[in-house]
Chain A
């Protein structure tokens, strides 16, 4: 019972840094930390069920994207001995419309294209591009600058990493507050 109350008190609301733009229509559940200059579109979902999520700076999380730190399939939420693992997401990543990411560790400058599906045991380094509709659920570390594309999830390595979407981020940070209410950090 002690453990249960500890778990409940540990689940605070989202901590949103001051420069971030998080629309109120987005769903953020659990212990989520969002860095500065990150834009979270309406209808994006960031759900920290089985542990906290830490999102870095300059990320772009588009509509209907789902970032979820969920329990692995064969473990029920109440079983003992389950540690809460933190999901870390670096800087300058782009989560395009409709993608789903369960990967516990994502580095910098990655692009997860529309309707891509990342499993829990993946680790993205930096500069990786997971192509549209690619479902990748292997237990591996994706090397830098890898592009996964095509219906067969072919891979190739590109010579330069994808550029950070600074222009897009600046534009959105100006325009989104004109049309949406923003979530602010809940002060304890």
Chain B
């Protein structure tokens, strides 16, 4: 049954700040710490910006300047689809001879989904295919920019004063893993850096020098306070009597996507530049190594560094479940797959009474006591006809079948609760792991094989409801 292969049937426990149970396919494995990591115990960093429709890469500084919007692509203000540029031929007078007309190409923006065109809001056709389209100016831009400047200055001043007070606590050592990219000037009203998040309240005195040179005269920026008005513009007289033209009224979503104007009428909806997407890289919080680093090219989906858990940890999957009955022993068939190329030894251990990690199980489970041996993953095995099948001497009561790097084995389940809901079992899986990332020590005997360490993971299986 395909539903047995659903990812959330088998959960692995991650020991982090929070105990998280999630499928192995969503987890990462830090091979320096030799521990599983989930998305919540890694730090997410922005790697690069790109536009989802033209797939153009944009350096972060430029992205920040353009407010994370693409210069060439537009979104339909009506349905938020990507707009495409269409051309028509219109007769236009020749510049040399006004009496003759020649066919000239005129370009307009059109949405393929809701059939919105730029002519609907009165935008004239442009003579160039790209680059001619401008977003309307926000009338309040000047005031907003002045306010931002003033508050940025205020934040810098406050930060300097705070740093000066805590000057006694100097930090002589800065970790080398931080790149120039992440050391921004800490702005109270801007983006926080990873530094600030990890150690809240700690001063970053070595950075203080970056923001302002001593003795430089700061331009004093004064702003006028906002003035409250007594009289508000009155409503139009026909406000209650005028029939509503429903197609003209904008929906809330359409309105709020244009925060500058928030037009109430559909004939004022102008297209906005398309928002950029980011590629993110993940970093282990304990050892600061990268767990996932995508390629720089937006068209490539590969990774430069991809330390996902499925390529290091043996994966347990449910193969078949018999009818589960209350307090009757049932035999469930599970599979174990070995992702690495060397032979892996796996031992399964049931959870003891009072195990703090065992909170969800609703059934007793008897796991095979013998050690299971998994063959290495050999990509060329299916093409190699001369290879002899390895003989592992499996106990037929325990191992149901064996196929290259996968085995099927039985566990016995006795459901303990008669309630509605799924029967859940949990056990621990202990396997050997050869850490190829550890620095190779110069050994006197020649090639020493990488040392194996033993890892233990807590696994929970959801086996489905009891059938009465």
* Interface residues in chain A, defined as those with a beta carbon under 8 Å from any beta carbon in chain B: 129, 131, 146-147, 149-150, 154-160, 162
Give 5 CB contacts A-B under 8 Å: A149-B115, A150-B79, A155-B247, A156-B247, A158-B116
CA distance A131 to B247 in the complex (A): 16
Which residue in chain A gives the minimum CB-CB distance to B121? Answer: A159
A-chain residues with CB within 8 Å of residue B248 when the two chains form the complex: 157
Contact between A147 and B115 (Cβ–Cβ < 8 Å)?
yes
Contacts of A155 in B (CB 8 A): 247
* Number of chain B interface residues as a range: 10 to 19
Contacts of B62 in A (CB 8 A): none
Report Cα–Cα, A149/B114, bound state, in Å: 6
Chain A: minimal CB distance from B375 (Å)? 49
Given contacts A150-B79, A158-B120, 6 further A-B contacts (CB under 8 A): A149-B79, A149-B114, A156-B247, A157-B247, A160-B119, A162-B115
A157→B117 CA distance, assembly (Å) = 11
Q: How many A-B residue pairs have CB under 8 A?
A: 33
- Partner among A149, A157, A159 whose Cβ is within 8 Å of the Cβ of B113: A149
**What residues on B are CB-neighbors of A147 within 8 Å?**
114-115
CA distance A162 to B115 in the complex (A): 9
In the bound complex, CA of A142 to CA of B113 (Å): 19
Contact with A along B236-251 (1 / 0, CB 8 A): 0000000000011000
- Contact between A156 and B78, CB atoms less than 8 A apart: yes
B58 cross-chain contacts in A, Cβ below 8 A: none
Residues of A within 8 A of B116 (CB): 156, 158
The CA of A30 and the CA of B272, in the complex, are separated in Å by 52
Distance A131 CA – B111 CA, assembled complex (angstroms): 12
Decide: B114 and A159 in contact? CB cutoff 8 A: no
Pick from B114, B117, B120, B266: contact of A150, CB below 8 A. Answer: B114
Chain B residues within 8 Å of A157, by CB: 247-248
Which chain A positions have C-beta within 8 A of B119? 159-160
Closest to A163 in B: B88
Asked whether A159 and B120 contact (CB < 8 A) given A149-B79, A150-B79, the answer is: yes
8 A Cβ contacts from B216-263 to A: 247-248
A17 to chain B, nearest CB (A): 30
Minimum CB–CB distance from A146 to chain B (whole Å) comes to 8
CA distance A176 to B247 in the complex (A): 40
- Residues of A near B113 (CB, < 8 A) are 131, 149-150
